[in-house]
């Protein structure tokens, strides 16, 4: 990582980790990996951004409203908090997404000012890791490419929510085909 880069940590929240409302198998294993990247970013003066799913109660993505998911990442709950061992720097910028009752976004760019924030910070290249490989990391990476950023996905720092490993692989192939670099 160097000047012009940013580190983007996607949705490393309790509800996506073991014990959470929408737990990802071994989701917490991304935490030490990403902590190393955070440390390196801090050492090199690279800005860190952390997105979070930030839903109101009765969000449109919840099953009670016909959505695909159990209630998760409800604003202000412990499930919506970042994993307690994730060592975000004090100056990390938090990106809250899907915070309106009737709008969902898997991508950290959807309905947020992330693209403007990155551009105004002079960012050209983003390093992306977090949860989940097959939804939010996938969509965030594709949007970052559409917004004109160079994208590197930190594969060791992601896990898929779907237990069929093909889904995670397919998601990674999609982002590679769209122009991202996979850091294996
Ligand atoms: Zn959600």
User: Are 34 and 74 spatial neighbours (Cβ–Cβ below 8 Å)?
Assistant: no
pLDDT in tens, 92-126: 999 999 999 999 999 999 999 999 999 999 999 99
pLDDT in tens, 27-53: 999 999 999 999 999 999 999 999 999
In angstroms, what is the span from residue 104 Cα to ligand 1's centroid?
Answer: 7
In angstroms, what is the span from residue 90 Cα to ligand 1's centroid?
Answer: 25
136 is catalytic: yes
The reported pLDDT for the residue numbered 75 is 98
In angstroms, what is the span from residue 43 Cα to ligand 1's centroid?
Answer: 32
Percent of the chain exceeding pLDDT 90 equals 94
The reported pLDDT for the residue numbered 144 is 98
Separation CA 75–CA 37 (nearest Å):
27
What's the DSSP call for residue 83?
P
pLDDT in tens, 46-82: 999 999 999 999 999 999 999 999 999 999 999 999 9
Catalytic residue, from 5, 97, 104, 134: name it. 97
The reported pLDDT for the residue numbered 165 is 75
Catalytic residue, from 11, 53, 104, 143: name it. 11
Q: How far is CA 35 from CA 41, 79, 130, 151, 166, in A?
A: 10, 20, 11, 19, 27
User: Are 78 and 16 spatial neighbours (Cβ–Cβ below 8 Å)?
Assistant: no
11 is catalytic: yes
In angstroms, what is the span from residue 164 Cα to ligand 1's centroid?
Answer: 20
**Relative orientation angle of helices 136-146 and 165-177, to the nearest 10 degrees:** 0
**Phi, psi at residue 177, to the nearest 5°?**
-60, -30
Catalytic residue, from 15, 104, 134, 136: name it. 136
**Phi, psi at residue 57, to the nearest 5°?**
-60, 150
Longest Cα–Cα distance in the chain: 45
């Amino acid at each position: 990582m160097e000047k012009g880069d940013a580190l983007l940590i996607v949705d490393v929240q309790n509800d996506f980790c073991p014990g959470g409302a929408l737990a990802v198998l071994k989701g917490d294993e991304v935490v030490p990996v990403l902590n190393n990247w955070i440390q390196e970013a801090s050492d090199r003066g690279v800005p860190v951004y952390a997105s979070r799913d930030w839903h109101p109660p009765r969000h449109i993505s919840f099953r009670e409203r016909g959505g695909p998911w159990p209630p998760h990442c409800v604003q202000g709950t412990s499930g919506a908090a970042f994993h307690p061992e994730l060592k975000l720097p004090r100056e990390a910028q938090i990106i809250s997404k899907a915070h309106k009752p009737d709008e969902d976004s898997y991508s950290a760019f959807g309905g947020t000012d992330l693209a403007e924030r990155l551009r105004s910070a002079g960012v050209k290249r983003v390093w992306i890791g977090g949860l989940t490989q097959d939804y939010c990391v996938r969509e965030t990476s594709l949007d970052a490419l559409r917004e004109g950023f160079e994208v590197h996905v930190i594969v060791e720092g992601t896990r898929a929510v779907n237990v069929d490993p093909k889904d995670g692989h397919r998601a990674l192939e999609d982002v590679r085909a769209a122009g991202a670099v996979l850091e294996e």
